[in-house]
Amino acid sequence: MELGHLRHRLSRPYYLGSHSYFLTICTNHRRKLFTDARLVELLIALLSDQFCRCGFSIYAYCFMPDHCHILAASRTETSDLAKAVRAFKGTSAARARSLGIHNLWQRDYFDHILRSSESFDAAAAYIFENPVRASLVSDPREWPFSGSFVFEWTNLRPPAVTFVPPWKKPM
């Protein structure tokens, strides 16, 4: 472990079994690679494939220029988030190299296990609203790199509560 690098990952059992996770995965050096539709379309297909193989449904995703947000829900007691993220990042990095893109991902990622008191729809709304907060579009439905493999996300009504990932909350 690097000096000054705090370990933020929970112990392995937290990433196994029946949980829902809010993830943020950044590009290496926060390069704005996700403006290339070919790359993002490839990543969306791999996201669906790799997470499904590891026992997850993708309730919401959004590829911003330099990061992506994912709301993943486990489908089985053997679902393994660490394995899913590793498979997605590894496979997508290899496929991105075929497009001439090297060192696609930052080494780590941010994760948050949704608690029973947190609204699943609010977490999804946070993801879909991200391009609006970044002033990339005025309506989340205008952003071409958002979606869900579970429901018609453009019909999601704004939830009564607001979700903010823990790493974005003021200390």
**CATH code of the domain containing 64:** 3.30.70.1290
Render pLDDT for 49-70 as a digit per residue (tens, 0 to 9).
999 999 999 999 999 999 999 9
Total domains, the chain:
1
Record the tokens describing residue 133, joined without a space: 């907060």
Enumerate helices (H) and strands (E) in the chain, giving the number of each: 3, 5
Render pLDDT for 69-114 as a digit per residue (tens, 0 to 9).
999 999 988 899 999 999 999 999 999 999 999 999 999 899 998 9
Q: Is residue 150 part of a domain?
A: yes
Q: Is residue 7 part of a domain?
A: no
Q: How many CB atoms lie within 10 A of CB 1?
A: 6
Residue 171 has pLDDT above 80, yes or no: no
CA 19 – CA 59 distance, rounded (Å): 13
Q: Is residue 2 part of a domain?
A: no
Provide the domain limits for residue 30: 15-168
- Name the residue with tokens 């995703």: 61
Q: Is residue 10 part of a domain?
A: no
Q: Is residue 3 part of a domain?
A: no
